[in-house]
Structure 1
């Protein structure tokens, strides 16, 4: 978007490793956004805020556009429908100590995640390159994050060919590669590899 920013990287989860972070964000969650005007913790809301407040309509869909409903739905579906089960899978498959891992819980949420991909699969089966308005938007960023997260925790085999091709298009973007490089440069733990 061309907006100046400062990125802080902390060990995950920060509420356990950096208790002073709770003074900044009482939830102790990431991301946390603060532009001196608003403080926000919800990824999708942050995306929409950047489009609206920083006047970046090229990354959104106008309210009178035919795809506006799809845009809002995918933007919010990314966190509530796709990323939520992935967080549970990550916890009970990878992060908990061995004696507290719950494979049956993780498997149940893998089934949930796979079933929740159906809306995206159907939408992409029409040959769309991006989700809405024939252009790249913050909805693609949000859904792309969920899909990328799923690949990190070993769930890429649950994607059909349309979803796989879509993720390949997103991760081939120069901005995605630049963001990944910056994240690795700033990550003192050189990213969680599972």
Structure 2
């Protein structure tokens, strides 16, 4: 650990900041939690724009440094305050697999899942497009099948033969799908996997 943490997480329930709080809890790092208003958009107030100019969550303040984007923050914490078993090192066999699924949980899944969220739950009913919702459901199903077959398979966790930040990244996307009642038809190994992830004490705290 390069220096004593002075961490503040800007957080809103159900958002991607869950990923960061989950990782902080798993790493045992001390942090201050600052809850950001998320009932209306943009998040927070004008003072929060000094932390995150786009007024989105999460944001992490480490002393005088501010880091944005949930996956970037996770990589920052692992690099800054590691080594940690939640990371997979470059000399480990699953290093490439770890990076893939760490980022796939956001970049690979976010578009269809976001559209599914918007056109089934988030938008007013008269603004929802059933054709977009159908397409998003089809694409989401393909991603779940891919994660089931090529990601998890018969593994307990997705990389490194242990729970890692990649599981946190993927687990949050499954959480979003569960919130909008779009996870019940997921492959059985993914549903069992999600149950294992959410049985962890750190998840209970992070998702509160």
Per-residue Cα deviation, 1:78-100 (whole angstroms, up to 9, x for no partner): 00112332222222222222221
1:12 Cα deviation from its structure 2 partner: 4.1
Q: Which stretches in structure 1 are left out of the alignment for 5+ residues?
A: 184-194
Q: Is the 8 A contact 2:86 2:164 kept in 1?
A: yes
The alignment covers a number of residue pairs equal to 180
Higher relative contact order (CA 8 A, sep 6+): 2
1:32 Cα deviation from its structure 2 partner: 1.5
Higher relative helix content: 1
Instruction: Tell me the TM-score normalized by structure 1.
Output: 0.84
Q: Which residue of 2 aligns with 1:124?
A: 152
Match of 1:77 among 81, 88, 104: 104
Tell me the secondary structure at the aligned position of residue 92 of structure 1. helix
Per-residue Cα deviation, 1:123-175 (whole angstroms, up to 9, x for no partner): 322x2101111111011111011111110111112310111111011011121
The reply on whether 1:7 has 2:33 as its aligned counterpart is yes
Q: Which stretches in structure 2 are left out of the alignment for 5+ residues?
A: 1-26
The reply on whether 1:60 has 2:87 as its aligned counterpart is yes
The reply on whether 1:163 has 2:186 as its aligned counterpart is no
Tell me the secondary structure at the aligned position of residue 28 of structure 1. coil
Q: Which residue of 2 aligns with 1:44?
A: 71
Instruction: Tell me the TM-score normalized by structure 2.
Output: 0.79
* Backbone CA RMSD of aligned residues: 1.8
* 4+ residue segments displaced more than 4 Å: none
Match of 1:139 among 166, 188, 193: 166
Q: Is the 8 A contact 1:15 1:21 kept in 2?
A: no
1:75 Cα deviation from its structure 2 partner: 0.4
**Cα distance in 1 between the residues matched to 2:161 and 2:169:** 16
Higher relative strand content: 2
Higher mean displacement: 88-97 or 64-73:
88-97
Tell me the secondary structure at the aligned position of residue 93 of structure 1. helix
Higher mean displacement: 164-173 or 48-57:
48-57
Say if 1:98 and 1:36 are closer, same or farther in 2 by CA, change over 3 A: same
Q: Which residue of 2 aligns with 1:191?
A: none
**Cα distance in 1 between the residues matched to 2:80 and 2:43:** 32
